[in-house]
């Protein structure tokens, strides 16, 4: 065994210490990224994204991925942000809160992102928000509508409306426009999103003079809903409110019609995916759901977005892609305004978002870091969702 002299060991230790001092610090959410003095060779700034790219909610994740990508392509083509190209590290949540939380942790601790985008699911977003808030890394959810998401802390933002508003919108539309008096509810008992909407709809529909004649539950991923639908049919409702995701709603609609339950089905923005109509066939004809946007809106900005999206991807956009596009643009605007890209500076810049020119109108964030924007009601006809009315907050 070779023995090293004390003098040589001291020299080696001194060299190692000197090398360590010369190692450049890694940018982290806890350390301000000095944008103006960043070396020229550092030409990219890393953002994080979490989405359900596989699993039952994959249509949401893929549409969101497209929307984020489209926005980043436009931003980078115009010179990026402060001369830096925006790049994004993407992880798949597989539609599960535990995987979403792990993805957020990897983005924060391993990838050292300055900001996180996502998710669609409220349950997944809340799991991510706990990690982002604890680390002081800003997070912008584009489509998670449960009120508790932004209540996780002051680093958590969203650019969509919240469930109390869209639940009220459908309750008001059902009672005052459709003149319904008796409605049943079928909700996902494992989804914060679904349960929250069911609660709001029940409260507001009842307050407006309607009656909830039955409340039945299922769990995401179920394939047989006949027992619940049979129980609902026996109460003779005039409509059934199903605040769930397209992957379940399409199957529920088919089975409802097979059982002779022919009343309109009412829903929420979780319905909005092209896959819904593939799953449901004609079973949703004459049904209604709430959404942040109507793609058939006559607004010029929306028409331009739809045309550009179709040219890029060859398909029509949906709500997830529109909201993701807007979230990335809001994030870029905040990065441009912020004096540095530390967590606190970015948080403050995002919070000051006012009258940002969104695809279908201006976006402003309120004191709770939620977007103030209207909702639309869409009607299903000939396998498409078309605009019916807009209801302002």
Both 153 and 189 in a single domain?
Answer: no
Both 237 and 305 in a single domain?
Answer: no
Q: Which two tokens stand for residue 88?
A: 């994004």
Pick the last residue of a domain from 291, 307, 341. Answer: 291
Pick the last residue of a domain from 261, 291, 321. Answer: 291
pLDDT at site 253: 98
Predicted confidence (pLDDT) at residue 181 exceeds the cutoff of 70: yes
At 157, give phi and psi (nearest 5°): -130, 165
Task: Give all strands (DSSP E) within 72-210, no chain letters.
Answer: 85-92, 116-117, 139-141, 156-158, 182-188
**Which bin fits 248, alpha (ψ -120 to 50), beta or left (φ > 0)?**
alpha
Predicted confidence (pLDDT) at residue 133 exceeds the cutoff of 60: yes
Predicted confidence (pLDDT) at residue 14 exceeds the cutoff of 60: no
**What confidence tier does 361 reach under pLDDT thresholds 50, 70, 90?**
confident
R_g of the chain computed on alpha carbons: 24
Predicted confidence (pLDDT) at residue 235 exceeds the cutoff of 60: yes
Contact between residue 189 and residue 195 where contact means Cβ atoms under 8 Å apart:
yes
**Residue 295 to residue 273: CA distance in whole angstroms:** 12
Both 359 and 309 in a single domain?
Answer: yes
Query: What's the total number of domains in the chain?
Result: 2
Whole-number percent of the chain with pLDDT over 70: 89
Is 35 within a domain? Answer: no
Q: Which residues of 79-97 are buried (b: 16+ CB within 10 A; e: fewer)?
A: ebbeebebebbbbbbbbbb
Smallest Cα–Cα separation from 373: which of 119, 172, 165, 197?
Answer: 165
Pick the last residue of a domain from 248, 270, 291. Answer: 291
At 252, give phi and psi (nearest 5°): -60, -45
pLDDT at site 360: 78
* Predicted TM-score of the model (pTM): 0.81
Both 203 and 100 in a single domain?
Answer: no
pLDDT top residue among 42 and 322: 322
Predicted confidence (pLDDT) at residue 27 exceeds the cutoff of 70: no
Both 168 and 157 in a single domain?
Answer: no
**Residue 30 to residue 45: CA distance in whole angstroms:** 15
Is 257 within a domain? Answer: yes
pLDDT at site 26: 28
Smallest Cα–Cα separation from 374: which of 118, 147, 169, 205?
Answer: 169
The DSSP call for residue 316 is -
Task: Give all strands (DSSP E) within 22-146, no chain letters.
Answer: 44-51, 85-92, 116-117, 139-141
Is 22 within a domain? Answer: no
Is 13 within a domain? Answer: no
Both 133 and 181 in a single domain?
Answer: no
Both 68 and 154 in a single domain?
Answer: yes
Predicted confidence (pLDDT) at residue 328 exceeds the cutoff of 90: yes
Both 56 and 202 in a single domain?
Answer: no
Is 317 within a domain? Answer: yes
pLDDT at site 325: 98
Both 99 and 205 in a single domain?
Answer: no
pLDDT at site 391: 87
Contact between residue 108 and residue 155 where contact means Cβ atoms under 8 Å apart:
no
Predicted confidence (pLDDT) at residue 2 exceeds the cutoff of 80: no
pLDDT tens readout for residues 182-204: 999 999 999 989 999 999 999 99
**Residue 76 to residue 71: CA distance in whole angstroms:** 9
**Residue 385 is inside which H or E element, if any?**
strand 384-391
Whole-number percent of the chain with pLDDT over 90: 81
Q: Which two tokens stand for residue 30?
A: 């806890």
Both 330 and 242 in a single domain?
Answer: no
CB atoms within 10 A of CB 111: 12
pLDDT at site 39: 53
Both 273 and 313 in a single domain?
Answer: no
Predicted confidence (pLDDT) at residue 249 exceeds the cutoff of 70: yes
Is 355 within a domain? Answer: yes
pLDDT at site 374: 87
At 152, give phi and psi (nearest 5°): -65, -20
Kindly report the average pLDDT of the chain as a whole number: 89
Both 247 and 329 in a single domain?
Answer: no
Predicted confidence (pLDDT) at residue 20 exceeds the cutoff of 70: no
Average pLDDT over residues 126-131: 98
Smallest Cα–Cα separation from 353: which of 339, 335, 341?
Answer: 335
Domain containing 256 equals 164-291
Is 390 within a domain? Answer: no
Average pLDDT over residues 361-366: 92
End-to-end CA distance of the chain, in Å? Answer: 78
**What confidence tier does 214 reach under pLDDT thresholds 50, 70, 90?**
very high
pLDDT at site 49: 98
Is 118 within a domain? Answer: yes
**Taking CA 295 as the corner, what is the angle to CA 80 and CA 327, rounded to the nearest 5 degrees?**
30
Predicted confidence (pLDDT) at residue 270 exceeds the cutoff of 80: yes
Q: Domain holding 71: CATH number? A: 3.40.50.2300
pLDDT tens readout for residues 55-83: 988 999 999 999 999 999 999 999 999 99
Predicted confidence (pLDDT) at residue 256 exceeds the cutoff of 50: yes
């Amino acid at each position: 065994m070779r023995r090293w002299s004390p003098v040589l060991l001291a020299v080696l230790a001194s060299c190692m210490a000197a090398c360590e001092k010369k190692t450049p610090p890694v940018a982290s959410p806890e350390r301000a990224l000095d944008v103006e003095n960043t070396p020229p060779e550092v030409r990219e700034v890393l953002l994080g994204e979490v989405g359900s790219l596989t699993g039952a909610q994959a249509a949401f994740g893929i549409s969101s991925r497209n929307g984020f990508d489209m926005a980043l392509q436009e931003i980078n083509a115009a010179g990026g942000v402060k001369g830096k190209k925006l790049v994004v590290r993407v992880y798949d949540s597989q539609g599960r809160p535990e995987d979403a939380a792990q993805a957020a942790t990897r983005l924060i601790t391993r990838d050292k992102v300055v900001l996180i985008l996502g998710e669609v699911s409220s349950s997944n977003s809340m799991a991510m928000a706990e990690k982002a808030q604890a680390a002081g890394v800003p997070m912008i959810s584009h489509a998670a509508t449960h009120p508790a998401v932004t209540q996780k802390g002051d680093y958590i933002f969203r650019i969509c409306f919240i469930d109390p508003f869209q639940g009220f919108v459908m309750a008001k539309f059902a009672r005052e426009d459709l003149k319904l008096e008796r409605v049943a509810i079928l909700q996902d008992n494992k989804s914060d999103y679904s349960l929250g909407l069911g609660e709001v709809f029940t409260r507001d529909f009842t307050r407006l003079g309607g009656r909830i004649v039955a409340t039945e539950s299922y769990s995401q991923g179920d394939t047989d809903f006949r027992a619940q639908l049979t129980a609902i049919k026996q109460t003779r409702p005039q409509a059934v409110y199903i605040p769930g995701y397209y992957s379940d709603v399409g199957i529920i609609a088919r089975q409802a019609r097979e059982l002779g339950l022919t009343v309109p089905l009412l829903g929420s923005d979780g319905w909005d995916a092209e896959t819904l109509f593939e799953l449901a066939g004609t079973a949703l004809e004459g049904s209604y759901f709430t959404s942040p946007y109507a793609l058939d809106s006559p607004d010029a900005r929306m028409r331009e977005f739809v045309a550009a999206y179709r040219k890029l991807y060859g398909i029509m956009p949906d709500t997830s892609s529109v909201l993701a596009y807007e979230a990335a643009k809001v994030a870029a605007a905040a990065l441009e305004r912020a004096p540095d890209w530390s967590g606190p500076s970015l948080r403050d810049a995002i919070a000051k978002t006012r009258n940002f020119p969104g695809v279908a109108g201006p976006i402003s964030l309120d004191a709770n870091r939620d977007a103030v924007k209207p909702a639309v009601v869409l009607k299903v006809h000939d396998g498409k969702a078309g605009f019916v009315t807009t209801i302002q907050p």
